[in-house]
Structure 1
Amino acid sequence: MRKIRDVLRYRSTTDLSLEAIARALKISKGVVAKYLRLSEAASMGWPLPEDYDDLALERLLYRQAKARSSSFIEPDYARVHQELKKKGVTLALLREEYRQATRERGDQYTAFCTRYRAWAGKLKRSMRQIHRAGENLFADYAGPTVPIIDGQTGEIRPSSVFVAVLGAPNYTEIGHKRI
């Protein structure tokens, strides 16, 4: 804890940069920044009250950090996973809804995506099926319609795209069906 006192003293009484304070105290620049961030969160200035021993200082700094982090609200990843199956739903949209629901106490976008992907990575997904070549054909709708323009009349008609796959590897066929 002696280093925290020294960091606060150097920062308040000198014009040294974080890097210079780190060199003077033989600690990393990140540790200096962390101590300053903790002291700012605890609204602690210099000089410290005389009744603050190292233990009291540590409790004050880390209690504030713990209280701040305990307000974090974990998203319901199962619901996020189900919502992503709906048309037009993205992780950015779900994260924004989550942020509004938690009143700004949730993850940032990158952390939200990272945590969701870690959660989704633990899901067991397997459906092993054996298909003989040419025996089965699997077709699926490939998304929203695409416009097809008639070259003679200029009429624009929507067209759905379907993908068909034979039930054996390396046999694929892509076709278009007009609606």
Structure 2
Amino acid sequence: MASHYGTAILAARPRRPKDKAKVEVAVQIAQRWIQARLRNQRFFSRAELNAAIKTLVDELNARQMRGFGSSRAELFAELDKPKLTPLPDQP
């Protein structure tokens, strides 16, 4: 996959990753926000629950970030999406 995208794979920092705690807190905040929004709803199928979670994730990604002045979706469309190439047909 790395050769397909023309990138190099670097090993993670094994000793003391400095950004691990920040990422874990960000995931925890997103998880709690989604769970808080869904706590009073009742779902009768997993598909129904997944659809509700998808709309909330899309809403979360569309929110403006304080430090950047734009949303995660806007930054993805501007920076990452143009550089993606389709995956090969054969695994």
Greater fraction of residues in helix: 2
Greater fraction of residues in strand: 1
Structure with more contact order per residue of length (Cα contacts < 8 Å, sep ≥ 6): 2
The normalised TM-score by structure 1 is 0.20
Q: Pick the structure with greater CA Rg.
A: 1
